[in-house]
Amino acid sequence: MNDKNQVKTKTKTYTTSELASVFDVSVGSISALIKKWNLKPVKTGNNNSKYYDMAVFERLGRHYDKSKQKRDKTTNTQDLRTQLAVSNAENELLRNELEIAKSTIKILQNELKIKNSQIDKLQDLTNQAQQLDLATHTQHQELLEQKPTQPTKQKRGLFNWF
């Protein structure tokens, strides 16, 4: 019966390397805390390996949870600062692109004014050409109406092509 009680009361024990693996830290870090807090092992095994009980495990767990929260806050702050710097750089690039686009728009507006002016001049020249053609046509009609048609004699002979 005594053996059964021992089995029931046995608790899990951890070596220094197991503790380091569980908390994802180095063995040296665990060893330093054990020495700093003056924690005693519950037993010593082969090759002088030390085994620590659940109380040590829980105390280390609380310590690493607190330090993890601090690291997370620091990491979050650094991440936010990085994101802010990236956003500021992107904003600056967008502002530069906007300025370039504005200057391009001004250039294109000026070119459009020049093209409109050229189109207006071309339209004026076309109107003048049309009026000149109409005037010429009218004059030609008037001349045809004034001049009676006379039959022309056809030249015969060797020199009719003169």
Q: Where are the domains of the chain?
A: 11-143
pLDDT at 92: 93
Residue 139 has pLDDT above 50, yes or no: yes
The runs of H, that is alpha helices, within the chain are 2-9, 16-23, 27-36, 54-146
Tell me the C-alpha to C-alpha distance, in Å, between residue 144 and each of 25, 55, 106, 137, 152.
114, 128, 57, 11, 16
CA distance 124 to 33: 96
Sign of the alpha-carbon torsion through 105, 106, 109, 111: negative
The type of residue at 143 is L
Best mean pLDDT range from 7-16, 92-101, 133-142, 152-161: 92-101
Average pLDDT over residues 125-147: 90
pLDDT at 96: 95
121 pLDDT tier (thresholds 50, 70, 90) = very high
User: What does pLDDT average to over the chain?
Assistant: 83
3 pLDDT tier (thresholds 50, 70, 90) = very low
